Amino acid sequence: MSSIDYSEKIPNNVNLSEDRALQRALEHWQPNYLQWWQDMGPDGSQNFDVYLRTAISTTPEGWAHFGHVKMPDYRWGIFLAAQEEGRQVNFGEHKGEAAWQDVPGEHRANLRRIIVTQGDTEPASVEQQRHLGLTAPSQYDLRNLFQINVEEGRHLWAMVYLLHKYFGRDGREEAEAMLHRHSGSQDNPRILEAFNEETPDWLAFYMFTYFTDRDGKFQLCALAESGFDPLSRTCRFMLTEEAHHMFVGESGVSRTIQRTAEIMKQHGIEDPEQVRQHGVIDLQTIQRYLNFHFSVTIDLFGADQSSNAATFYSAGLKGRYEETKRADDHALKGDHYKILEVKDGKLVEKEVPMLNALNEVLRDDYIKDSIAGINRWNKVLEKAGLSFRLQAPHKAFNRHIGSFAGMRVSPDGRMISETEWQGKVRNWLPSEEDRAYVASLMGRVVEPGKMANWIAPPAIGINRQSVDFEYVRFN
């Protein structure tokens, strides 16, 4: 069923009204969600009319309808991609069996853990971004922030539906707990460390949506391969919304670079201090932000060798990125993969069983995809005639999870001493002064079509509207 029923209290395309117990349970959760949104959602935005897209069906051609809506009135609901007739488990020990419509008892704990970990990231990013509306560089950007926020809220609904429908009392308790953990909380933080970091300014927001939402894409793609069909269908629809989040990040960084390049060419300057005197973000600071967000995000893929990843794959719960396009046996029992380790003070490759290296496989696919976007940013610099190029740091740089946790590795992949690290870290990661400088540029600009000085306008508006369209009406 691809069309979505908006006449119900909880919009859905899963025939919710036919399951009265589930409907009652979710309607009991709904006010708690709305209270969370009121308390932890976008700051000071409750009365704005925002030009948002809302799904009207889950088919590729008809899932987005645009119109002005107040965010607390946004119709969050439960939308699954259409069921594939005859779908099978495509990997692991159950390969070739019919995909499961219910949770297999022996996989219950692992599936619940997977769903809770993914679900916890969705409200976390709303909490991380809740103050950004107060410093938006344009009305266009403010609208994009709010679109991302409401969709992250709906992605929470997607995972809460699975918990309520398939995991009984345990699932209901996990769904409640997702509203009680908070990003950065000392007492009850979010599960994954990257989702407890602050997103204090718009450059951090663009980097987060480029890098960390891209992690979301890869995790959702791996879960969309799941033999548990309701999880697969849920993630397939979520991926359609995730694409816009990454677009906001990629285009936001690109526009920041473009504006900096314009100032550098106009005034014939390259020195970062001189560039800053013109109220734009120097390229070296952009590189340091890139280094930070890239390294924090690749930690999200977990340890480079993981028995859990092997278990999830062999059980048919979580596949690889684009699993069905890969030309191997999809069991991987005798296959190997090269990972990095430290030997005699150097980084060297070693072969390990691929089943245990699946986190690293997904991380490497992610890194390739991330670098493609960094290359597109460099095209902006090339077009401007500047010699500076951005680059991804080495994957062992600034790691806090896995075999490189706490090791000192330079962005170009050299093992270095603590002394060298301390002497150079200000060149590699944003300093307090960098963050203070970027924060100093963050004044709110909300007149239609106007942009903050530090960012270039977008090439086109949203949904074929002009850049100076009234994306947000402040009532």
Supply the angle between the helices 213-224 and 283-298 in degrees, to the nearest 10: 30
> 400 in a domain, yes or no?
yes
> 75 in a domain, yes or no?
no
Mean pLDDT, residues 176-190 taken together: 97
- 339 — alpha (psi -120 to 50), left (phi > 0) or beta? beta
- 406 — alpha (psi -120 to 50), left (phi > 0) or beta? left
CATH assignment at residue 261: 1.10.620.20
Cβ atoms 158, 12 nearer than 8 A = no
Task: Give dist(CA 323, CA 346) in Å, integer.
Answer: 33
pLDDT the model gives residue 257: 98
Q: DSSP letters along 70-87, please?
A: EGGG----B--PPPPTT-
Q: What is the mean pLDDT of the chain?
A: 96
Task: Give dist(CA 10, CA 269) in Å, integer.
Answer: 56
The CB density around residue 436, as the number of other CB atoms within 10 Å, is 12
| Total domains in the fold of the chain | 1
> 208 in a domain, yes or no?
yes
pLDDT higher than threshold 70 for residue 19: yes
> 69 in a domain, yes or no?
no
Token representation of residue 173: 């308790």
> 79 in a domain, yes or no?
no
Mean pLDDT, residues 8-25 taken together: 96
pLDDT the model gives residue 1: 46
Please tell me the pTM assigned to this model: 0.97
> 184 in a domain, yes or no?
yes
> 20 in a domain, yes or no?
no
Task: Give dist(CA 430, CA 433) in Å, integer.
Answer: 8
Of the chain, the end-to-end C-alpha distance in Å amounts to: 37
Mean pLDDT, residues 124-146 taken together: 98
SS (H, E, C) 248-309: HHHHHHHHHHHHHHHHHHHHCCCCHHHHHCCCCCCHHHHHHHHHHHHHHHHHHHCCCCCHHH
Range of the domain at 211: 86-144+160-473
Mean pLDDT, residues 286-298 taken together: 98
Q: Using pLDDT thresholds of 50, 70 and 90, give the confidence band for residue 63.
A: low
**What are the tens digits of pLDDT across the range 380-400?**
999 999 999 999 999 999 999
Q: Which H helix or E strand runs over 352?
A: strand 346-353
Q: What percent of the chain has pLDDT over 90?
A: 93
Pairing mode, if any, of strands 346-353 and 336-343? antiparallel
> 308 in a domain, yes or no?
yes
